[in-house]
Amino acid sequence: MIPRNRRTIDLSAIEENMRLIKGTLPAGVRALAVVKADGYGHGAAETARAAIRGGADFLAVATEDEGIQLRKAGLDLPILVLGAVTEGDALCGTENGLIQTVCSPEMVRMCEEAGRKLGKQTEVHLKVDTGMGRIGVRNEAERDATIQALNDAPHVKLTGAFTHFSDADGDEEGVAYTREQFLRFQELIAPLPEGILRHCANSAAIHRMPMYALDMVRAGISLYGYPPVPCDLPLRMCMSWTAKVSYVKEVPAGCFISYGRTYESGEPRRLATITCGYADGYHRRATGKAQVLIRGKRFPVIGRICMDQMMADITGAEEIVPGDEVVLMGQSGDETISAEDLARWSGTISYEILTIAGSRVERVFSGKS
């Protein structure tokens, strides 16, 4: 059966992006590939393997379940779980050799109990909240209490500490705030043991603030070809999204198209119906702004985007017929539509566009898997 629409992942682009990013790092600095949220929609295990071929030293996920899936896929690199450990996760995380994130004495005790039950050490990184406001020790008192708990936990081994920048891709005030976060991080981790991994640089900081690399950097959105700040690296988009033309028709002037009668043809038009809608992850909010590529040409989407279909004005393109490929994201001829374009039309960010595909969207891989 021919799929309604599909996303194609170029694994060679992921590999090359990782290689380019790592090539900018000072000697001895490790590169962590963030493959949470199913590899930002690109496939976690496949993305991880490509990143490793490109030189990744570490992997990171959001949850223990995501880490366990990578272990089941045969990946044995260190895997950091970025979310705060919970009591239910501590045991399975320890059992599968995942690095847990702790930021309170209670979390340390959860990991100690898991390690004691399994007769092995739980490896952890300490999360420091320097201004993101999500999780992490926020001051010296919380830090010291957590350190004391670590000292009292023989089955827990502290191997790293990290923070997350909230505005490294922002304006001058954002840059100044990031510097404050960095200095605060340095202050709070000063009493920690020598030799642990210190990391704080996300994608924006990798390109914009290389002096914050410390011992390791975390490549997220840049790994997938969308650096959040200008950079000189020729990073490539790794995902394309295509659908099909299902129907072509001529309509007279005064014809309404789609729900709500928001579009009326002012003159005779030629229209194509496309096999994709908001149930596939194409934002309804892109109505009135979206464009698609067919046979190397750009066409506007007209009328409201429906659950399963959308319509494009292909007037003047008599060569377009049912069955033609429609590029929703990617390249056709000399024209390109990026996730950032889709995000702008939809009032969101590229991260959501990459991760939002519905269950009907087939995912295929090109390049070495």
Q: Two tokens at 247? A: 């129907």
Structure pTM? 0.96
Q: What is the DSSP letter of 258?
A: S
CA 133 from chain centre, in angstroms, equals: 20
How does strand 297-302 pair with strand 310-313?
antiparallel
Residues 6+ apart with CB under 8 A from 188: 128, 130, 137, 139, 140, 143
Q: Please, are residues 6 and 327 in contact by the beta-carbon 8 Å criterion?
A: no
CA distances from 228 to 207, 295, 349 (A): 9, 30, 10
- Examine the pLDDT at 369 and tell me if it is beyond 80: no
User: 261-300 pLDDT, tens per residue?
Assistant: 999 999 999 999 999 999 999 999 999 999 999 999 999 9
The residue behind tokens 């799929």 is: 3
User: 99-110 pLDDT, tens per residue?
Assistant: 999 999 999 999
pLDDT for 288? 96
Percent of the chain with pLDDT over 70: 99
Rounded Cα gap, residues 187 and 185, in angstroms: 5
User: 32-63 pLDDT, tens per residue?
Assistant: 999 999 999 999 999 999 999 999 999 999 99
Task: Tell me which residues are annotated as active site.
Answer: 36, 259
Q: Which domains does the chain have, with CATH numbers?
A: 11-224 (3.20.20.10), 239-366 (2.40.37.10)
Rounded Cα gap, residues 210 and 202, in angstroms: 10
pLDDT for 368? 73
Percent of the chain with pLDDT over 90: 98
User: 309-352 pLDDT, tens per residue?
Assistant: 999 999 999 999 999 999 999 999 999 999 999 999 999 999 99
User: 162-198 pLDDT, tens per residue?
Assistant: 999 999 999 999 999 999 999 999 999 999 999 999 9
CA distances from 113 to 25, 79, 98, 107 (A): 38, 21, 15, 10
Mean pLDDT calculated for residue range 119-129:
97
